[in-house]
Structures are given as structure tokens and as C-alpha cells.
Amino acid sequence: MKELISQFTGQLADAIKIGDNANLTHSKKEFQNIVITGLGGSGIGGKIVAQLVKDEIKVPIVINNGYTLPAFVNEKTLVIVSSFSGNTEETLEAMEIAQKRGAEIACITSGGKVLEIATENNYNHIVLPACHSPRAMLTYSLTQQFYILNHYGFIGDSFKKSIANAIETIDSNINSIKEEALKIAKGLKGKTAVIYSEEGYEGVSVRLRQQLNENAKVLAWHHYLPEMNHNELVGWAGGKDEYAVILFRNDSDYSRTQRRMEISKEVIEKYTNTHFEVWSKGNDAVEKSLYLIMLGDWISIFLAEVRSVDPIEIKVINHLKGELSKLS
């Protein structure tokens, strides 16, 4: 896993090449909404991208993480099916519903049943390189979400320059990224991580939570501001030093939200001595998000090392799949 995480920027560069060379056909349909359906490492890319394009895109995007689809899905819906393996059962069931309702379907996958269905039905699809750990391939699925949205005319192509800039920023700061990540990982040992960010970066927080779950084998939770100020902040009256707070910050966060963060810190510091502020680097939200994702990935890997656990191992998920396979 450590080797895969080290390939982050190389994967981004490769993902750009894959997107540029994708053979996608045009559609004359006028879409009223978009649904991105996928789970885990395949699904989080959609959430992150949906937040990153919200100031540009003119139709609503709904992230779907289950077996069914919203009732509004019809022939005027673009359904982006994201499954790295191509065999995720929840995603396949949602895809079948999309087919029955006549939705436009575009797929992002490395193979499996999703690629088979896409090929048989001439659905637009982008094929990703195969890998045993989808969570280590977020770079690919995330990048292709941009390409799909661009192909259908929902967004421009400025994301390409942003990703290229992010690669340069991350590569030039990789040593300091690792140093900061190691410091945070050591501070997290024996504690429960609580991850906060501005609302537009919630997907980045979810990504870190997922990585801590799978790589470091620990529980964690996340929330975002300003919403957190209307509920969870009160809960800190029951806080204690077993919690470790990671606060993702950006110089572009809304001014009043930044002030809320400062006040929230004052409250939280009364109940735990373990808190970290992580500031992004980059010129826009895409660059900043990728920077924070890279740093978060390293936190999860270093915490796995600190805890002496195998970041690759997912026996409990394999057990779950095995039990589900027994159902008729």
C-alpha cells in the first residue's frame, strides 16, 4: 500500500492520458440531473468532484451509495456508474435500475460485469488499469469523473491544468507532506480521529476517514463547518483527551467559516490536547483537495505502521462478501 500511495502523482498523470484517449460518443439528450453511483473507494471520487464543480455545473448532482436509485431518475438523467472492480453488487443493481428507466449511462471501471454491460450496450465507458486495492486508485476514478462531465458539456476542461499543477505542487512538497503526516499519525496513536473541514471539502474528510478505517484499522468520524456549529460543537461538552482533532483548512475558506473554525478550536481545546491544523497548498479547489488527499493518505499509512497493522488486509470485508454470496 505504501508503494501504491507513493505513485499518487504518477497515477494522476496517467489518468489524464487515459481521459484524453477515451473514445466517448456524443449524446443529443438534454439532461436535467446527474447521479453518480458507486461505493467505497469507487464512490468517494464522485462526491469530491461533485463538490469541486458545484460553482460551474448548472444541473444538480446526486451521489448514490446503495442498491437503488432516486425516483426522479429517468431518460433525462445521466447516471455515472463507478465501480473499480466492475462487480460491486450494489452498483450493479443500481445500474440495472438505470437501464430500466432509460437513463443515459456512462461507466468508469477496470472490468468485470460493468464493463461487460457497457460494451454490450454501447454505453460510454472509460477503462481503468487493474489493481487489487481500489482505495489506492482514487486518482483514476476521480479524474475520469471530470472527463465524463466535460464530455457531456457540463464543465470545461480547466481541471486538466489544475491536476497538472497539483502534481507539481505535491511533488515539490512531498518531503514536508510526509513529515507532517508522520507527526499527525504519531499523535493519533491510541486515540479516535475527528476530522473537520469547510463544507466544500467534506469529501476530502470522508476520504481520510475511509483511509483510516481501511489502512490503519481504526474508527474515526468527520463533520464540516458551519453545520457542525449547529449541533456537534455542543457535544464537545462530553469530549475528552482520547479524541484527536484534524482540521483541514484552506486560505480560500469563506471568511466567516474561518472565524467559526477559530472559535470552534477554542471550545475543542478545552477537552482535548490533541489537535492538528492541516493547511492545503494550491491555487484552486482542485489543487487544494488533491494536496489534502495526498497528505491524508500518508497519515493513514503511517498510522498503520505506528499500530503495526497491515494496510492491505481487509478480511472483514471479504468475510461480509462471502456471507452475502450465500444468499439466494
Phi-psi region of 80 (alpha: psi -120 to 50; beta: other; left: phi over 0): beta
Catalytic site residue from 104, 198, 214, 287: 214
Q: Is residue 321 annotated as a catalytic residue, yes or no? A: yes
Q: Which of 26, 28, 230, 315 is catalytic?
A: 230
Closest CA relative to residue 202, chosen from 230, 187, 224: 224
Quick check: is 132 catalytic? no
Rounded to whole angstroms, the Cα distance separating 114 from 134 reads 15
Grouping H, G, I as helix, E, B as strand and the rest as coil, residue 34 is: strand
| DSSP tag of 241 | T
Catalytic residue among 29, 186, 319, 321: 321
Nearest Cα to Cα of residue 203 among 44, 39, 37, 5: 44
Task: Kindly give the interhelix angle for 40-52 and 138-151, rounded to the nearest 10 degrees.
Answer: 50
List the 275-279 sheet strands across, edge first. 220-225, 192-198, 243-249, 275-279
Helical (H) or strand (E) element with 221: strand 220-225
The phi and psi torsions of 313 (rounded to 5 degrees) equal: -60, 130
Whether 222 is a known active-site residue: answer: no
Distance CA 295, CA 285 (A): 15
Extract the C-alpha cell encoding 304.
Answer: 498503520
Cα–Cα distance, 93 to 90 (Å, whole number): 5
- Are the beta carbons of 217 and 305 closer than 8 angstroms? no
- Cα–Cα dist 305/3, whole Å: 13
Phi and psi at residue 272, to the nearest 5°? -145, 145
Residues carrying an active site annotation: 214, 230, 321
